[in-house]
Structure 1
Amino acid sequence: MSKYYKTANFYQSTFLFSKGLELISVDRTDPKKCEFVFADTPERELLVGVFNFSKENDPETMVDFRKAVLAIKTLKNALHQP
């Protein structure tokens, strides 16, 4: 397992951040897209599976809306930092 997990999916990143994964940085290596870099954990693989494959209203996909708002603000701020 890698030390980091990268994704360009903003919604997945919002979910992962809301579930407590640590955002390390934003990778801007590719000028056409940015990737969010998270500290990888054993839980991350499970969370990505939940995000991608759970049914609507599955309790595992639910997050506190205030956490989601904080995640969105944090990710947008990270995108707009030089």
Structure 2
Amino acid sequence: MSDANKNQNYLSVNFYASVFLILKGGQIIGIKKSENNSKQFVFIFRDFPQRKELLQQFNFSPENSPDLMVDFRKAVAVIKSLKEKLWQQKL
């Protein structure tokens, strides 16, 4: 993962962290292939103030923390949507 770039975007290669950010209100604006690894994709987000705190929660909150709780059906929908977008990128 990298910090926000000059365009105020946030880039992530972590699929599940990206799902978590979307579920918590992050706006994904694109997906591209990684320049360093042709098998890896980069998720591009419009950066937002809560992003750093949300990633701290995602990476370091203890199991069963209320901060990590999300609607599972929404999580499944976001995962399916991102996977569809990844397949579109591969074609």
Pairwise CA RMSD: 1.3
CA positional deviation for 1:67: 1.3
1:75 maps to what in 2? Answer: 82
The alignment of Structure 1 onto Structure 2 pairs a total of residues equal to: 82
Aligned to 2:26: 21
User: So what's the TM-score if we normalise by structure 1?
Assistant: 0.90
Percent of pairs identical after alignment? 46
Return the TM-score normalized by structure 2: 0.82
Choose 1 or 2 for highest CA Rg: 2
Moved >6 Å (runs of 4+): none
Are 1:54 and 2:61 counterparts?
Answer: yes
- Residue 10 of structure 1: aligned partner: 15
Contact 1:25 1:78 in 2 (8 A): no
- Counterpart secondary structure, 2:50: helix
1:29 deviates by 4.3
